[in-house]
Amino acid sequence: MFSKSFSTNQETIHPNNIYRQIERDYKFQGALTRHSYYPLDVGNILYSHCTRNNILSSLTKDEVAIVKNPIATKTNAAQRKNMVMNWFDIFDKMFFFGNLRKEINGIDFEDDELVEELNVVGAYDPTENHIFINIHEEKTLELKKYLTLVHQSYEEYFICVLFHEMTHAFISTYCCVCRPCRKIRQSITLGGDGRQGHGPLWADAMARMQVILQNLVKWNVNSCIDDSVREEMEFNKWEPSPSQLSRWGITRPRIPGKLTAADLPSRVTVHRTPRRCTPRRRMR
């Protein structure tokens, strides 16, 4: 009943609403199956998986030391790439079931189109299945100002950008792609990850994982939930509930068309912050 042969017909991939169970797959086969799970289950498993007690147990001794020590300043691109790749493995093992390494085609550090035309600092492209991290972004004044505001070093910021993009990658890789499931993902009101990928499905998981990571590291974790959700709100004309806003650490709800003095600092920050993800559905 879980045969992949169903996938030839996207409408009947899970007849009778039967989905593969993500926890069961992890427990019994030690791996997850691409595009096989009910979207809200994918968000929920990320949300709950990271609270297990042994979150560091899958890491090597060296990796645990990387997590627990302050992040040293990296003086050149090669060192930064190495740092990002190390953290990719660490995040994968801690939060993403150790599965993303096998799924992602690669991490790009150079992309002229993304940097020059769209000014992004990170992106996930589901078609190419690539993550992009712009480790050269320190040249911009906008980022320098932003990092002063959020009390982060460049290195800490790149690690958080990676964490943010890996969460998109996990959701995109494991959610079922049949038409009803794609609709759920796009719908903010049904709890999906929205048209830009920053709806409740993503934000709930990201916020929970961010807290867990913050309790383990000595530096300031900021996965850019606030700015990303605000963009999604604007794009969908969506106002999250007060409990969602408080879960995601968004203290000043944005009222469309009504800019109050209280809204101003965060709005300015949003516009000065380089976009983390492109607004295109293809690349987010």
The site for Zn ion (CB under 5 A) is made up of 176, 178, 181, 277
User: Both tokens of residue 225?
Assistant: 């939930």
Contact between residue 222 and residue 147 where contact means Cβ atoms under 8 Å apart: no
Whole-angstrom distance, CA of residue 40 vs CA of residue 184: 8
Instruction: Using CA atoms of 271, 274, 171, 250 in order, give the dihedral in degrees to the nearest 10.
Output: -40
- Say which residue the tokens 């929205």 belong to: 194
Q: Give the residue with the Cβ less far from Zn ion, 60 or 113.
A: 113
Which CB, 74 or 227, lies closer to Zn ion?
227
CA atoms within 13 A on the CB side of 85: 10
Tell me whether residue 59 or residue 247 sits nearer to Zn ion (CB atom): 247
CB of 111 to Zn ion, least distance (A): 16
Inter-residue contact 106 to 85 (CB < 8 Å):
no
Q: Which is nearer to Zn ion, 209 or 277 (CB)?
A: 277
Tell me whether residue 99 or residue 172 sits nearer to Zn ion (CB atom). 172
Which two three-digit tokens encode residue 284? 């987010």
Question: Residue 74 or 156: which CB sits closer to Zn ion?
Answer: 156
Q: How does DSSP assign 157-212, residue by residue?
A: HHHHHHHHHHHHHHHHHHB--SHHHHHHHH-TTTT---SSS-SHHHHHHHHHHHHH
Measured CA to CA, the distance from residue 88 to residue 211 in angstroms comes to 18
Least distance to Zn ion from the beta carbon of 245, Å? Answer: 18
Query: Within 10 Å of residue 284's Cβ, how many Cβ atoms?
Result: 24
Q: How far apart (Å, rounded) are the C-alpha atoms in residues 218 and 151? A: 12
Question: What is the smallest separation between the CB atom of 175 and Zn ion, expressed in angstroms?
Answer: 8
- The Cα 52–Cα 17 span in angstroms is 28
Token pair listed for 241: 């509930």
The nearest distance, CB 244 to Zn ion, in angstroms, is: 17
Rounded to the nearest whole angstrom, what is the least distance from the CB of residue 61 to Zn ion in the complex?
32
Please, which residue, 74 or 174, has the CB nearer to Zn ion? 174
In the complex, the smallest distance separating the C-beta of residue 155 from Zn ion, rounded to whole angstroms, is 20
- Nearest approach in angstroms of CB 196 to Zn ion is 7
